[in-house]
């Protein structure tokens, strides 16, 4: 028995049950009486029961028909309610928005933008997931994903560039007082560094744009400290444990208050691309479009800003 075929005949059956006759149902649905009768007959054949007691003057539900009618009525009401919710989501920002994002970048740069959006739209629900593990957006049923850097696979997804995250080299004044100040990327080979790495993501070194253009310069300075948390790297750098290469949004306030020094400030900073990804559907919900618009508008200032 095909559920889809059943659904095509259900409205005619429900109308006949509520109108107490095929003719009245036909008028309600703008169909012929014969079309309504055939729809009911198809349902009866597939279900293997009689749905109506038929006489020359009326059609009344059988016991099985009454039970089936009540189930169909509930199903149609649920479908109608679902359609109303979808239509409402197209007219105003509403419903649950599930977003996955890198942990610290998400907490500092993304979450404030989305919570401000939720404050503007009382019917918007936020479900924000913070973590550096790359998830499957479609399989894990996320509405939106925020990614930084190279996109390994975006099949089945729409992608939009939100802004760029400048990276900067920094160290504490106490470190510079003891070990000196590196002036070029090559100088880093003689310095202690604190780097980012995880068991599943090997450290790829630090990347510097060349002042005159051309391929970027990859540097892999020696390090004995490797953390999978940017905040911990910043704390270690402030404690004077080594030079760090960190997003500008994370260290700019620390540079301004003097706890860190922006090294090689006369060189251009590498800027990693920040992207929004979402399932490739013909009409994404308004809540997704509103979130993307808010991020496009506000994220560049939070993630970038002017270097000191």
Tell me, what's the pLDDT at 135? 87
**237-258 confidence digits (pLDDT tens):** 999 999 999 999 999 999 999 9
163 and 252 assigned to the same domain? yes
Query: Whole-model pTM above 0.75?
Result: no
242 and 105 assigned to the same domain? yes
**213-230 confidence digits (pLDDT tens):** 778 888 888 888 999 899
User: Higher model confidence: residue 2 or residue 135?
Assistant: 135
Q: Are strands 124-130 and 95-101 parallel, antiparallel or unpaired?
A: parallel
148 and 278 assigned to the same domain? yes
**What kind and span of H or E run contains 114?**
helix 111-120
Distance CA 68, CA 202 (A): 60
Give whole-number Cα distances, 257 to 75, 248, 252, in Å: 62, 14, 9
28 and 100 assigned to the same domain? no
End of a domain among 91, 115, 130? 91
Distance CA 99, CA 145 (A): 6
56 and 112 assigned to the same domain? no
Distance CA 41, CA 39 (A): 5
Give whole-number Cα distances, 53 to 8, 11, 43, in Å: 22, 19, 14
CA atoms within 13 A on the CB side of 118: 15
Q: Are strands 193-196 and 223-227 parallel, antiparallel or unpaired?
A: parallel
Lookup: tokens for 58: 């009326």
Neighbours of 284 (CB within 10 A): 16
- In the chain, DSSP finds a helix count (H) and a strand count (E) of 10, 13
Q: What is the mean pLDDT of residues 17-44?
A: 89
CATH no. for residue 87? 1.10.10.10
72 and 100 assigned to the same domain? no
47 and 112 assigned to the same domain? no
Transcribe 172-191 into DSSP letters.
-HHHHHHH----SGGGGGGS
The answer to whether the CB of 96 falls within 8 A of the CB of 85 is no
Average pLDDT value for the chain: 88
**173-218 confidence digits (pLDDT tens):** 999 999 999 999 999 999 999 998 765 555 568 989 887 777 888 8
Question: What backbone torsions phi and psi does residue 156 show, to the nearest 5 degrees?
Answer: 75, 10
Query: How many domains are there within the chain?
Result: 2
67 and 151 assigned to the same domain? no
Domain of residue 240 covers 96-308
End of a domain among 91, 113, 139? 91
84 and 108 assigned to the same domain? no
177 and 267 assigned to the same domain? yes
Counted residue by residue, the chain has a size of: 308
Split at pLDDT 50, 70, 90, the class of 53 is confident
63 and 199 assigned to the same domain? no
137 and 205 assigned to the same domain? yes
Q: Residue 166 in 3-state DSSP?
A: strand
Lookup: tokens for 284: 């994404």
């Amino acid at each position: 028995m095909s559920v889809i075929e059943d659904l095509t005949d259900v409205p005619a059956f429900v109308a006949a049950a509520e109108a107490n006759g095929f003719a009245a149902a036909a008028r309600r649905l703008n169909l012929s009486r014969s079309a309504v009768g055939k729809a009911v007959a198809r349902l009866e054949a597939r279900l293997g029961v009689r749905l109506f007691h038929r006489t020359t003057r009326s059609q009344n539900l059988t016991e099985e028909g009454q039970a089936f009618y009540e189930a169909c009525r509930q199903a149609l009401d649920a479908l109608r309610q679902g359609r109303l919710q979808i239509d409402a989501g197209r007219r105003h920002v509403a419903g649950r928005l599930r977003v996955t994002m890198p942990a610290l970048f998400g907490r500092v740069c993304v979450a404030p933008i989305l919570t401000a959006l939720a404050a503007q739209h009382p019917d918007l629900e936020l479900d924000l997931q913070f973590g550096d593990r790359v998830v499957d957006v479609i399989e894990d049923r996320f509405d939106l994903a925020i990614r930084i850097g190279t996109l390994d696979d975006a099949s089945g997804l729409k992608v939009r560039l939100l802004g760029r995250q400048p990276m900067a080299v920094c160290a504490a004044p106490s470190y510079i007082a003891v070990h000196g100040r590196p002036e070029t990327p090559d100088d880093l080979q003689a310095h202690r560094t604190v780097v980012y790495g995880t068991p599943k993501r090997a450290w790829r070194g630090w990347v510097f744009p060349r002042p005159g253009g051309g391929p970027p310069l990859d540097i892999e300075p020696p390090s004995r400290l490797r953390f999978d948390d940017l905040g911990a790297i910043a704390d270690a750098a402030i404690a004077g444990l080594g030079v760090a290469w960190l997003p500008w949004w994370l260290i700019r306030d620390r540079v301004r208050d003097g706890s860190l020094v922006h090294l090689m400030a006369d060189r251009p900073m590498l800027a990693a691309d920040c992207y929004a990804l979402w399932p490739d559907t013909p009409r994404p919900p308004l809540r997704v479009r509103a979130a993307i618009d808010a991020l496009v508008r506000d994220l560049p200032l939070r993630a970038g800003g002017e270097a000191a």
